[in-house]
Structure 1
């Protein structure tokens, strides 16, 4: 069934911060003994920039504290750090699109461990995120499968469409992101918006204030 979609990135698009850095700080505050992981984060980030380390392995350092946290901790992180960081304009746009009959889909490279809670917003139909492996009923810091970025976002969206038996109505659909790394996702829809960026590559610049 053809359906008009409104597809949103989350970090720096729906929220005004980077959730990975917020999670790193949250984990260190909650478990100060994990502070030395900052050195690992710096090293892994450098190796990634030098193309000596895969994104999946580089990102896992940010989630070091994940092994110490249960679902209530992850929900608390969402409620206290991420939900308050939602751009008011982004929330209004999602609510508007939902009221107009759009299927509102959030797609992010950040992990499902805490991004899944955005699906509790009444205006959000589903969240697609990078998957973390689970061990003994808890999320680990290790990424399962591929980092949900670039072309992988398209792969995951297509998988979701197949599972839901839906198809994107290209002419009526729209997508929002702060980064041109989401160009593959933008190609799925006719109306493309770069958040707090200048127009580029056929995308219209759209400014949201905190």
Structure 2
């Protein structure tokens, strides 16, 4: 079935912050003895910038606290740190698109462990996120498969479409992101919007205030 889609990145697009940094700080507050992990985060970030470490391993340091958290903790993180950070303009846009019959899809490189809760918003149909491995019923800090960024977002969206026998109505669909790293995702739709950036690469700039 041909369906019109509204596709949104989450970090600094739907919310005004970076959820990974928020989670890192949240984890340290919850368990202060894990504070030295900051040194590992810095090291992994430098190695990633130097292309000496892949994204999956670099990001895993940010999620060190996962091993100490259950679903209730992760839900609390979403409710207290992420949901309040939603741009009012983003919420209005998602609600408007949903009311107009769009399939509202959130696609993020951040982990499903806490991003999945955005699917509880009535205006959101599905969240596609980076997968973390699960051990003994709890999420670990290790990424399972590929980091959901760039071309991988397109791969994951296509998998989602195939599973539901859907196709994107290119001419009617739209996508929103704060970053040109999402150009592959923008290629799936005609209407492309850069959040809090000037127009670039065929994308229209939109300003969303906190």
Aligned length in residues? 210
Q: Deviations over 1:6-64 (max 9, x none)?
A: 00000000000000000000000000000000000000000000000000000000000
Shift of 1:165: 1.0
| Structure 1 segments of 4+ aligned residues over 6 angstroms from their partners | none
Q: How far apart are the structure 2 equivalents of 1:207 and 1:193?
A: 10
Q: TM-score, normalised by structure 2?
A: 1.00
Shift of 1:164: 1.2
Contiguous gaps of at least 5 residues in structure 2:
none
> What is the aligned-residue RMSD (CA, Å)?
0.2
Equivalent runs, 1:47-86 vs 2, <5 Å: 47-86=47-86
Equivalent runs, 1:107-118 vs 2, <5 Å: 107-118=107-118
Name the counterpart of 1:209.
209
Secondary structure at the aligned position of 2:171 is classed as helix
Q: How far apart are the structure 1 equivalents of 2:60 and 2:3?
A: 35
Name the counterpart of 2:135.
135
Q: How far apart are the structure 2 equivalents of 1:155 and 1:25?
A: 31
Q: TM-score, normalised by structure 1?
A: 1.00
Shift of 1:148: 0.1
Q: How far apart are the structure 2 equivalents of 1:94 and 1:110?
A: 19
Name the counterpart of 1:172.
172
Q: How far apart are the structure 1 equivalents of 2:204 and 2:55?
A: 29
